[in-house]
Structures are given as C-alpha cells and as structure tokens.
C-alpha cells in the first residue's frame, strides 16, 4: 500500500473509532516496505514518519515473579525476658540481610531457647536458634558463636519461607520437623511437638 493511501486509511480508522457514543476501538496494522507489520492498538495519529497514539495506553501490572509472596502481618509480642541488646543487634542485621521479619526471628528464638545463647537441648540443638550440628555444618556456621548461630538460623528460616511460598506456618513446621516432613505430609506434620510449636508461635504473632 502506498504511503498516501496508507495515511488515508489510518485517518479513516481514527475517524471511525471516534464515532458514536460507545467506546469503539480499532487496531491499525502498518505493513513496511520490507514486509514487516507493526500493530497500533487504538486510534493513532500519523505525523510524517512518526506515530502517536491518540489515547494513552493503560498500564498493565507485571505478574509476580517466582518466589514472591505477601508477608504475613506479624504482631510484636511482649516477652517475660528481653533479648540481650547485642544478640538483638545480630537478629536485626541477619533479618535485614536475608529478608526475614525480625519479629518472626525473635519469636522463633524465644520458642527455641528463650533467647539463651548457652542453651543446648537434649537432642543436641545449640544456642539461640537451636541449630543442630548437622544443620550448622550444612550452613557453614559455628553454632557456638552467637552471631554465626543467629545468622545461620535466619538464613535457614529464609530458605524455608522461600521453599514454602512464604507460608509462615509451613516454614515454622519445617524449622521444627524438617522440610521433607512438611513436603511428605503436604502441610504441618501430625507430630504433637511440631503442631504445638507452630501453634505457640502463630498465636504469639497473631498469625491467622
């Protein structure tokens, strides 16, 4: 189609789309000399070699990428004991680095060890975040070093949140019972300890 005839056709489309009281819409297809086609959605104004849409196109929201989620709104509870200022600074630093809510980290630390860096469970879990030796080794941290213990625990919690799509309750269950148990049972495992663990932290943080 010659340029002059094409311009006349384009103007006709613009005119037709503006007629009537309804919100008419037309798509204009321009075929270049090399055979390529360009689609102009809606009324388009042609000025020489340039084009400009008559209507501003609506912005389209980008779909969320993989691994994105809406974090649960957590309530900071009051604890009978306070986390030591130095340990709390480690929590804030680690939470910022790994993108985990520090409120959640403190709740896990309280449930695990009552904020005691010297705590060792009968099963051998160590420190504030109660890291098992094998888990600490996998994370590459020294569980007896308070800072490394907290950083390791927060890093592990971050991986669990990502694995379970940001579901805090499933991440908590995985922190207690292991991620494979949660995957195998397709939810919180039917272990009394794990269910009580998730229930206690969820109620403390007002997670519904």
Mean model confidence pLDDT for the chain? 78
Helix (H, G, I), strand (E, B) or coil at 205: helix
pTM: 0.66
Q: Are 55 and 49 in contact (CB under 8 A)?
A: no
Confidence bin at 32 (pLDDT 50/70/90): low
Q: What is the pLDDT of residue 200?
A: 97
Range from 1-5, 145-149, 177-181 carrying the lowest mean pLDDT: 1-5
- Which residues are known to be catalytic? 112
CA–CA dist 156, 153 (Å, integer): 5
Burial of 77 (0-12, 13-18, 19+ CB in 10 A): middle
Separation between Cα atoms, residue 148 and residue 207, nearest integer Å: 28
CB atoms inside a 10 Å sphere around CB 7: 14
Residue 125 has pLDDT above 60, yes or no: yes
pLDDT (average), residues 78-104: 96
Give mean pLDDT, residues 50-54: 47
């Amino acid at each position: 189609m010659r340029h002059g005839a094409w311009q006349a056709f384009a103007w006709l489309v613009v005119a037709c789309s503006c007629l009537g009281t309804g919100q008419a819409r037309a798509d204009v297809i321009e075929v270049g000399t090399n055979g390529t086609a360009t689609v102009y959605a809606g009324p388009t104004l042609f000025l020489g070699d340039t084009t400009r849409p008559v209507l501003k196109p609506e912005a389209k929201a980008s779909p969320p990428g993989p691994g994105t989620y809406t974090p649960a709104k957590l309530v900071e509870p009051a604890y009978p004991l306070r986390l030591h200022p130095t340990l709390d600074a480690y929590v804030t630093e680690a939470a910022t680095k790994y993108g985990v809510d520090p409120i959640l980290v403190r709740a896990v630390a309280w449930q695990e060890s009552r904020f005691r860096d010297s705590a060792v469970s009968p099963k051998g879990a160590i420190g504030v975040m109660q890291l098992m030796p094998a888990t600490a080794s996998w994370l590459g941290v020294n569980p007896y070093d308070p800072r490394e213990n907290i950083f390791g625990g927060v890093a592990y919690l971050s991986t669990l949140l990502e694995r379970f799509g940001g579901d805090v309750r499933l991440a908590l269950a995985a922190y207690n019972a292991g991620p494979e148990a949660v995957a195998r049972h397709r939810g919180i495992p039917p272990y009394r300890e794990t269910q009580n663990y998730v229930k206690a932290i969820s109620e403390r943080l007002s997670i519904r």
